[in-house]
Structure 1
Amino acid sequence: MPEQQEKITALRRVASQISSDEDLESLLGELTRSACQQGGWDLGSVMCIDLAHGYGVVMARYESSRLPQKMQDRWELATSPSLIALQSGEPVYIRDAQHTTRFPGYRRDALARNYRTVLALPMPSSDAEGRPMVLTVISRSVREVAEEDLTFMAAVVDLGAIAVDRAHRRRAQLEANEQLQRILGSQRSLLRNVLAGDSLQALAATLGELLGGAVLVADFSAGHVVGSASALPALYDDTQWTRWLAGSGGRELLGYIHDTLQHQRDGQVMLPLEGEHRLAAHIEALTVDDEQVGALLVVGDAPPDTLRKLLLENACFALSVQLMRSVIRYRFETRTLTELFSEIVERRFRDSEDVLARARRLGLPLAAPLRMLVVDFAGHGSHRNNLMLECSRQVSGLAKQLQVPMHMVTLGSGLVCLLPVDAEQVAVQARFGRRIADALGRVLGHEPIVVLGETFEGLEPLAIEWERCWRMIRVARDYGRSGMLEMPDLGALPLLIGAADATDVRHFISGTLGKLIEYDKRNSAPYLETVTAYLRSGCRSQLAADAMGLHVTTLRYRLARIQELFGLDFDTPERRFALELALQLHQLTTGAELGKR
C-alpha cells in the first residue's frame, strides 16, 4: 500500500509539473525530467518520428549526470526501437542495450555513454508538424521492468499527451488571436487608405501583402483589372504582368470575370488566359446597392479558412467603398451628360451659349463637327440592373481598343456616342459600330440596333440629327432589322413611313385598297395579285397576262370586274401613282407586322 501511494503521489507530481502554460519544448523537457525522476530512470528523451525521411529526431532530453557527453540527436529508424513501438502501439523493452544485437545503433551509444536498460513508449500525441512521438527512458544499470512500472509509465505518457494537446490548442489559439488582431488591424489600415484616396492599384498591393499572394481587382465601371503582383511568375514578371493587364489580355480577362459572376458570386474558379494557361483563384463579387461593380480574386487553388474568409470580407468591404467612388462618378457624369443631351434634343434651353459652356466643362466640343452613333437595345435583357453599366463598359473598351475618341451619353434604352469628325476616322467609326453590334449581341443575347448618322455641327443640327437617327431606329424596330445600319440601308419608303404618322398611312392604304384586300381574304380571289402585276407591267395587258400565266382576255375581264366592284381607275397617272404607293406601303406594313410576331 505505501508503494502504491508513492506511485500516486509521483503521478500527482508529474501532473502538476506538466500542467504549466509553457511552450511545447519546455513542456516536453519537463515531462522527460518528471518521467525519469518519478520513475527511477537515469536518462530520458522525447523523440518525434519523421517517417517520410526515415529518422527519429530528439525534441527534449534529460540526464541525471552533469558530466558533458556527446549525445546523438538523430537516429535512423532502422536502428531504433521507436518505430517498433509506434507500429505495435506497445512499449519496447531492451534489458541490456550493451549486448543487444537487434538494435546496433543503441548498442554503440550504450557502450559510449555507459547505460544498459532502455524502455521506449509510444505517445498518443504528435508535434507541431503532425509527426508521432515516442518517450524513451534509460537506466545506467540493468533493470527489470515490472507490470507496475509499465502502468506508471503509461500513465505518465497519457498525462504528457494531454499536456501536449493542451499546448497545441493554446498555441493554435494564440496564433488565431494574433491573426485576428492582424485582420482587424488590416481592416483599419484598408479603410484609412480608402478614405485617404489611395488608388485601386495601391489597395491591391496592400491586399497582396495581407493575404500573402497575388490578388486581382476588377473594376467594371472603369473597365480594367489591376493586380498586386504577377499571377503567373513563370511567364511574366510584375512589370510585364501589369502591362498585360492594361492591354487586350486584361480586357479579355475582365470579360471572363464578368461572365463568371453571372453564374457564381464567390468560390473557386478557373479562368482561361492566353494559350493553354489557366488561372486558379478564389473569387468574391464586389457590390454597390446590390449591383455587381467588380470582383476580388485571390490567386491559388486552396479554399480560404475561417479567419481568411473574415479577412476577405473586410477586403471586399473596403474595395466596395473604393469602387463606390467609380460608380458615383460614372453615375454623375452619365446623369449630367444625359440631362444636357436631353435639353438639347428636346429644345428646352434658352441660352445656347450657356449650353455650349456647360458642354465644354464636360469636355464635349459641340461647336466642332461631330457624328452620332446611336445604340438601341430596348427589349433585350431589361431585367438586369447593371445592363447599362455592362454595355457602357463594353463600348468604352472597344473605343479604347480601336482608339476611337468619343463622348458617351446613356439613355433609357440605349447609348449615344458623339464622335469627333476626322477624315481618317470615318472607316474606323463604321467598324466601331459593327464591333459594338457584335459585342453587345453577346451580352444581350440578340444584336442591338446600331445607327451611324451624318456629320453635324451646333445645337439645332444635333437635335435634327437625333430625330433622324431615332426615326431610323423606329423603322428598324418595325421591320425587324438589327445590327449596324446607316441611313441608306433601309431604303426610302421605310424612312417615309417612319417620318409619317402610322395612323395616316393605314388610313391611306385602307381608303385606296381596303375593300379589294378584304374581298380577296373572304373569297380567296386573285384581284390584289392582278392589280400588282398590271401596275408593274406599266399597265400593259399582254405583259401582265404573260407574267401571271393568263390569257390576255382573262386579264381584261378581271380588270373590268375590279373597276366594277371597287371603282379602281388606272387611266390617269395620278391614280396609278396612288395605287402603286398604296401597294408598296401595304407590303411594307404587312412585313413589319409579321416581323413583330
Structure 2
Amino acid sequence: MHQPALPDMTGSALKLFSRTTQAHRLERIRSIASAVNQSGALETILDRVLSTICSSEPWSRGGIMAVNRVSGFSELVIGYHPGEVRHPGLPTAWTLSSSPALHVAETRQPLIIADAQAATQFADYQADALARGYRTVILLPMGCSTDEGHDMVLSIHTPYLIEVSEQEIDFLVTTAHLVAIAVNKSRHLQRERRQNERLRSVLDRDADLMGLVLGGADIAAIASMVGAMLAYPFVVIDFIGDATTARQSVDADNLSDREWAALVEGLAAPLLGNLIAQAGANGADMVLDLSSIGLPIVLPTVVEPLRIQGETVGGLLVFPRGRRLDDIDRLIVQEVRFALGAHMMQRHADAKRATRDISDFLEQLCRGGIVDPAHAQARARRLGLDLNRPCFLLTVVLPKAVAPPFAE
C-alpha cells in the first residue's frame, strides 16, 4: 500500500516504533479471535476487541464508525477512549463530507492518515485529533453493516507520529475481518433468538386461540385473537352464518378500517368469494384486483379455504402488503386456518343438529304425537319457535315417481 510521506513537523520529534515481531502479532490475533468467539452482547464483544487492539503499542485508542449516508454523518458505534473523561462534550458524529470514513467505506481499502492533526482535507477529523491528542490514524473497511444497513469502518489511533508497516496493515486488516465475523455472528444469534421467541409466542397464542374455539367463543372474539397473531390485514368469511369479519385496512392511507370492512361485506364480497372458489382445497397465493369495482388497488393475497367434509364453508384471506410471508407467518396462517375450521365445524354441527331437532319436533307436532301441550310449548321455546303466534300449514305433496315406458 502506498503510504504518504510524513509531514515536516517543526518543533516536534518524529517517533518511529520498531517493527512489531510476527510472534507478537500472532498473539494479538489469538487474543482478538478469542474475544470474537466469546458469547455476550455485541457491544461487549466489540469493546473487548478494541481494547485488545489498543492494549499494545503503537495503538492506544480506536472506534467503530457507522457511515450513515441518510443523515450525512459518520457516527460512533462503539469506542475505546481511555481517559475520555478529560474531554467531556466531544462529538460522537462527524459530517461525512469532512470525514475519511466515507472514502474508506466506498473504496473498501485501508486509509492511513500520517498526521490527523495536520489533515486539513478532513476538517472535522483534524479538529477531533487536536482535541483528543492523536496523530497517526489508520481506517479499515469492516465488510459488514449495522442493523440499519450503514457500512462500518474500524478506526485506530496513536498519539505518536509513526510509520505503519505492511505487516501491521495486514494484521489490522485481519482484525477488521474478525470484527466483521463477530458482528455477523451476533446478528445471526439475535435473529435466531428473535425467531425462537416469536415461535414460542405463536405457540402460546395458538393454545389460547384453540381454547376460545373449544369454549364456543363467537367469531368476533376469535378474530380479535387472530389479529394479535397475524401482523397483516385479514378477512374471515363464514358461508354458514353469512358473515364477514375484517381486521385492519389494506390501504390505511385511502381506506379506514370501517370503510374496508364495509367494502368486503359489500362490493368486494363476490371478488373474495371467487378467490376462495379458485384457490382449491389446499389454498393458494393469489391476487385481489379491486379495479373492477372502481378502486386502483391490487393486493397479493394468501387464500385459505375453510372446508368441512369436502365442502367449502368459508375462507381466510391474508393480505401481506406486498411482503413475502416467512416460515413462521405461514405456520401462523395454517394454525389460524385449523382453528377457524374447527369453529366452522362446530357451527356446522350446531346448525345440522338444530335443523334436525326442529324437523323432528314439527313432524311429531303435525302427526298429533303431542301428549303434553306444556312440554311441547317448552320444547318449542328451546328450539326458537313460538307456537302462540299465528302459523300457516303448508302441505306439499310430491308426485309419485312414474316408471319409464318399456323400451323395445
Q: TM-score, normalised by structure 1?
A: 0.57
1:324 aligns with 2:342: no
Counterpart residue identity of residue 265, structure 2: G
Matches within 5 A, 1:160-559: 160-234=179-253, 237-238=256-257, 244=262, 250-264=265-279, 265-270=283-288, 272=290, 275-276=294-295, 278=297, 280=299, 281-299=301-319, 300-336=321-357, 350-351=367-368, 353=370, 357=376, 360=380, 362-363=383-384, 457-458=392-393, 462-463=394-395, 466-467=396-397
Q: State the Cα deviation string for residues 484-529 of structure 1 (Å, max 9, x = none).
A: xxxxxxxxxxxxxxx997979x9xxxxxxxxxxxxxxxxxxxxxxx
CA distance, structure 2, for counterparts of residue 337 and residue 279 of structure 1: 46
Partner of 2:133: 114
Report the alpha carbon displacement of residue 38 of structure 1 after superposing the two structures with TM.
4.0
1:11 aligns with 2:19: no
Partner of 1:54: 72
SS in 2 for 1:294: strand
Partner of 2:165: 146
CA distance, structure 2, for counterparts of residue 149 and residue 503 of structure 1: 104
Counterpart residue identity of residue 220, structure 1: F
> Does the 8 Å CA contact 1:220/1:294 hold for their aligned counterparts?
yes
Report the alpha carbon displacement of residue 332 of structure 1 after superposing the two structures with TM.
2.2
- CA RMSD in angstroms, aligned pairs only: 3.3
> Does the 8 Å CA contact 1:282/1:301 hold for their aligned counterparts?
no
Counterpart residue identity of residue 317, structure 1: F
CA distance, structure 2, for counterparts of residue 31 and residue 336 of structure 1: 77
Partner of 1:399: none
Change (3 A) 1:233 1:182: same
Counterpart residue identity of residue 214, structure 2: L
Partner of 1:157: 176
CA distance, structure 2, for counterparts of residue 181 and residue 39 of structure 1: 49
Counterpart residue identity of residue 326, structure 2: D
Partner of 1:40: 58
Change (3 A) 1:322 1:17: same
Matches within 5 A, 1:63-102: 63-69=81-87, 70-102=89-121
> Does the 8 Å CA contact 2:275/2:286 hold for their aligned counterparts?
no
Counterpart residue identity of residue 227, structure 1: A
Higher relative contact order (Cα pairs below 8 Å, separated by 6+ residues): 2
Change (3 A) 1:271 1:192: farther
CA distance, structure 1, for counterparts of residue 149 and residue 20 of structure 2: 40
> Does the 8 Å CA contact 2:275/2:303 hold for their aligned counterparts?
no
SS in 2 for 1:262: helix
CA distance, structure 2, for counterparts of residue 147 and residue 71 of structure 1: 32
> Does the 8 Å CA contact 1:201/1:228 hold for their aligned counterparts?
no
Counterpart residue identity of residue 305, structure 1: D
Larger relative helix fraction: 1
Report the alpha carbon displacement of residue 9 of structure 1 after superposing the two structures with TM.
0.9
SS in 1 for 2:137: strand
Q: State the Cα deviation string for residues 275-313 of structure 1 (Å, max 9, x = none).
A: 426473433222233432222233333221111111222
Partner of 1:26: 44
Counterpart residue identity of residue 344, structure 2: L
Larger radius of gyration: 1
Instruction: Work out the percentage of aligned pairs sharing the same amino acid.
Output: 27
Change (3 A) 1:150 1:234: closer
CA distance, structure 1, for counterparts of residue 298 and residue 69 of structure 2: 35
Change (3 A) 1:158 1:196: same
Q: State the Cα deviation string for residues 146-173 of structure 1 (Å, max 9, x = none).
A: 0011011011111111111111111111
Q: Which runs of 5+ in 2 are unaligned?
A: 1-18
> Does the 8 Å CA contact 2:271/2:288 hold for their aligned counterparts?
no
CA distance, structure 2, for counterparts of residue 188 and residue 295 of structure 1: 21
CA distance, structure 2, for counterparts of residue 326 and residue 58 of structure 1: 60
Change (3 A) 1:256 1:364: farther
